[in-house]
Amino acid sequence: MDSEMKCNVSEMQSPKMPKGLDLELSNHPSTMRRVANLIIGMDKLKAGASESVLSTEFRDENLINVMLENIMEEHVVLELGSAPPVQFSRTGEYQCSVTDSEQRSLVLNQNNVELHAVMLQGGSDNHKVYLNMSTYVHPSPSTRVRPVALCIKGTNLYLSCQKTGDVPVLHLKAVEDKSSLQRIGTDSDKVQFLFYKRDSGLNLSTLMSAQFPDWFISTAKDDNKPVEMCTETDNRYRTFNIQRQS
């Protein structure tokens, strides 16, 4: 028996086969080229009988196109299945009074636009600043610390921690659109506004930079000095009395 049987579908007058397309049946072992020919033939069948078939010959460019289409399709699937970005989400805001462990209040120095820790005398409490503390949910929730952002009440000045040279420095930075801090990605430059509030007693807390671990908001030993960042080994006060205002 002949090893190959050819059936010209156009001669059989099949309405489902496009004109010019032959279906070849063979008992030879399958090869990649034969499989690809079959795939392309089936694709042409799907296009409908009205489509004119230019050629049934499988060329190298056909194989390249099939491979590229499969690669592009798989790439799209991987993109759609990627994980959502990790971020801090704001949950609320409240006003608070902040003093250091020496009972000194925070005062805004207008000339240098920085906070100072000052022992206020009677009748000068009007110089004291209050902070609006925004609370956030950490991407990896922890019961030990709480992410917060600190804004001077009545202003758009937020405490931020950024490096100057090789050292993290505390700044007061204006934020024109406060809603931009509603959600903060872990890889966003807005992480500079976040601090980890760790409670160590009744109303007693430390405030560590979220961007620079082991760097804390602190006050100096001397009175009327700037509030700055420090490490645990520095000779500064790192504990604050933070009381929520009604």
pLDDT in tens, the chain (246 residues): 444 444 444 444 444 555 555 555 555 555 656 655 656 656 655 555 444 445 555 566 665 665 555 544 444 444 444 556 689 999 999 999 999 999 999 999 999 999 999 999 887 888 999 999 999 998 887 668 999 999 999 999 999 999 999 999 999 999 999 999 999 999 999 999 999 999 998 999 999 999 999 999 999 999 999 999 999 999 999 999 999 997
Helices (H) and strands (E) in the chain, counts: 2, 16
pLDDT at 80 (0 to 100):
47
Query: Using CB atoms within 10 A of its CB, is residue 77 exposed (0-12), middle (13-18) or buried (19+)?
Result: exposed
Q: What's the CA gap between 206 and 194, in Å, rounded?
A: 13
Q: What's the CA gap between 217 and 193, in Å, rounded?
A: 12
pLDDT at 189 (0 to 100):
96
75: which 2 tokens?
A: 């790439």
Q: Note the CATH number of domain 87-244.
A: 2.80.10.50
DSSP state for residue 219 in the 8-state scheme: B
CB 246: neighbour CB atoms within 10 A? Answer: 4
pTM recorded for the entire structure: 0.67
Q: What's the CA gap between 105 and 107, in Å, rounded?
A: 6
pLDDT at 100 (0 to 100):
98
Angle of CA points 208, 214, 219, to nearest 5° = 60
Give the largest Cα separation in the chain, rounded: 116
What is the domain partition of the chain in residue ranges? 4-80, 87-244
- Which residues face 208 on adjacent strands? 196, 216
User: Strands, DSSP E only, in the chain?
Assistant: 4-7, 23-26, 87-100, 105-109, 114-118, 131-137, 146-152, 157-164, 167-174, 183-185, 195-201, 204-209, 216-218, 225-226, 228-230, 240-244
DSSP string across 140-173 = S--SS-EEEEEEETTS-EEEEEEEETTEEEEEEE
